[in-house]
């Protein structure tokens, strides 16, 4: 009975992936299923020797995977089958990959910085100007763009060492049940790694946790080895430090800075405007120290400088904001509005206007 429940659960999850019409998900599902079948054939051949009967029985997992795949495809809606079978709409992903490579080439050794892809990418985007791209739709390209060749090689080397450590888990497992669990965990890892080539898969916390869990399950089935406790302690300490860094990360100052700039634009007297512009300037500078490629922050900073009468520096900042995201239409219209407002603004500052009795400043 547990075997039946496990089989039904696996088929239901596979059907959910296919019904989502995600082509990357379908490819990763196929890769995981093939990896599972290949690992089962290999482990069974090693366990039973090279007898002809063992090899024949080893082909059974491949036949089962093919039969399950045919059944799942047969019950899929026509819309899902049609989308999975075509490359319609793939141009956005291809253009994003090309842009990510251009971003990586702009700083090939050290990259643009971890977590900076969303801000750094717009300069290298070609087409799809109204779309805000947050990730490279490819984990490997995003790591390359953010960390450069040095970080990319380090990340892949670490992943390769971990893969070698868990790849032998089915061989080391003593019980058949442990070998089966290790095989399933490794097949799941294979599916996740393939999916990372078509999406920002491991940037999703639940998927990253799932990958870590599968690696831990695969490694645990091999039993304790010399030095494994020390390695596990080091990994646990690293994970704890990372979790602490995430929890202790300060709140993003960008929303507050944007609100300060909005309030400065609503000020009705010169004294109030000067105070609010000063606060907005300080807040925007703080944002740009953390996110130096955030085009909207540069545009608002240019607006604060224009509000203080610094026309040429303010317009220069607005032009610089446009250079960071040249294909964004709302950014261009905002810069044009600032230029028109600056042209229409009186050259000499107006005297301060005292509020009417009982009137409060907004």
**CATH code of the domain containing 284:** 1.25.40.10
According to the model, what pLDDT value does residue 358 have?
46
Q: Which of 54-63, 248-257, 352-361 has the lowest mean pLDDT?
A: 352-361
Residues 35, 187 contacting (CB under 8 angstroms): yes
According to the model, what pLDDT value does residue 332 have?
93
According to the model, what pLDDT value does residue 159 have?
81
Residues 56, 64 contacting (CB under 8 angstroms): no
* Pair 78, 196 in one domain: yes
Residue 138 has pLDDT above 90, yes or no: yes
d(CA 186, CA 188): 5
pLDDT level of residue 350 (50, 70, 90 thresholds): very low
* Pair 261, 184 in one domain: no
pLDDT level of residue 104 (50, 70, 90 thresholds): very high
Helix 60-75 and helix 2-19: axis angle, to 10°? Answer: 50
* Pair 144, 178 in one domain: no
* Pair 63, 35 in one domain: yes
* Pair 127, 200 in one domain: no
pLDDT level of residue 236 (50, 70, 90 thresholds): low
Please give the DSSP secondary-structure letter assigned to residue 201.
G
pTM over 0.85, yes/no: no
Other CB atoms within a 10 A radius of the CB of residue 300 amount to 29
Please give the DSSP secondary-structure letter assigned to residue 126.
-
46 occurs within a structural domain: yes
Residue 325: name the closest of 43, 86, 97, 131 by CA.
131
According to the model, what pLDDT value does residue 357 have?
40
Residue 268 has pLDDT above 80, yes or no: yes
242 occurs within a structural domain: no
Residues 208, 193 contacting (CB under 8 angstroms): no
* Pair 80, 176 in one domain: yes
176 occurs within a structural domain: yes
Instruction: Please state, in angstroms and as integers, the Cα–Cα distance from residue 111 to each residue in 96, 117, 126, 144, 146, following that order.
Output: 17, 10, 20, 7, 5
For 104, the domain range is 91-150
Residue 16 has pLDDT above 50, yes or no: yes
Supply 178's token pair. 């442990």
* Pair 37, 181 in one domain: yes
* Pair 310, 190 in one domain: no
d(CA 302, CA 317): 5
According to the model, what pLDDT value does residue 111 have?
95
Task: Count how many domains the chain has.
Answer: 3
Which residue has 């042209």 as its token pair?
Answer: 343
According to the model, what pLDDT value does residue 361 have?
40
112 occurs within a structural domain: yes
326 occurs within a structural domain: yes
* Pair 70, 183 in one domain: yes
Per-residue pLDDT, averaged over 261-281, amounts to 94
Residues 75, 15 contacting (CB under 8 angstroms): yes
According to the model, what pLDDT value does residue 36 have?
86
Residue 222: name the closest of 185, 251, 274, 263 by CA.
185
* Pair 37, 172 in one domain: yes
47 occurs within a structural domain: yes
Say what percent of the chain tops pLDDT 70: 71
6 occurs within a structural domain: yes
* Pair 59, 18 in one domain: yes
235 occurs within a structural domain: no
Instruction: Please state, in angstroms and as integers, the Cα–Cα distance from residue 130 to each residue in 116, 202, 336, following that order.
Output: 19, 26, 17
Residue 232 has pLDDT above 60, yes or no: no
* Pair 97, 8 in one domain: no
């Amino acid at each position: 009975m547990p075997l039946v429940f496990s089989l039904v659960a696996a088929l239901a999850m596979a059907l959910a992936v296919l019904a989502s019409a995600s082509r990357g998900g379908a490819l990763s599902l196929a890769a995981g299923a093939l990896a599972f079948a290949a690992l089962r054939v290999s482990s069974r051949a090693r366990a039973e020797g090279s007898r002809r009967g063992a090899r024949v029985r080893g082909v059974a997992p491949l036949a089962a995977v093919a039969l399950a795949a045919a059944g799942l495809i047969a019950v899929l809606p026509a819309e899902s089958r049609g989308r999975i079978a075509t490359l319609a709409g793939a141009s956005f992903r291809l253009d994003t990959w090309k842009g990510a490579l251009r971003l990586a080439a702009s700083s090939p050794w050290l990259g643009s910085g971890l977590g900076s892809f969303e801000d750094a990418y717009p300069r290298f985007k070609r087409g799809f100007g109204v779309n805000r791209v947050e990730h490279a739709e490819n984990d490997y390209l995003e790591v390359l763009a953010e960390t450069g060749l040095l970080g990319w090689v380090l990340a892949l080397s670490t992943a390769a060492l971990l893969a070698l450590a868990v790849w032998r888990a089915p061989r080391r497992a003593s019980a058949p049940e442990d070998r089966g669990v290790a095989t399933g965990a490794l097949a799941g890892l294979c599916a996740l790694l393939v999916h990372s080539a078509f999406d920002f898969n491991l940037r999703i916390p639940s998927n990253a946790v799932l990958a870590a869990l599968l690696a831990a399950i695969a490694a645990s089935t091999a039993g304790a080895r010399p030095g494994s406790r020390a390695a596990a302690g080091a990994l646990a300490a690293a994970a704890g430090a990372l979790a602490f860094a995430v929890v202790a990360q300060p709140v993003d100052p960008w929303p507050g800075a944007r609100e300060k700039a909005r309030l400065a634009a609503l000020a009705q007297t010169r004294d109030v405007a000067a105070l609010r512009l000063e606060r907005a300037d300080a807040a925007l500078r703080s944002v740009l120290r953390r996110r130096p490629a955030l085009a909207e922050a540069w545009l608002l900073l240019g607006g604060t400088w224009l509000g203080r009468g610094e026309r040429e520096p303010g317009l220069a900042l607005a032009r610089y904001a446009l250079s960071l995201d040249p294909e964004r239409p709302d950014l261009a219209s905002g810069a044009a509005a600032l230029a028109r407002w600056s042209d229409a603004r009186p050259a000499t500052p107006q005297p301060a206007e005292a509020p009417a009795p009982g009137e409060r400043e907004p």
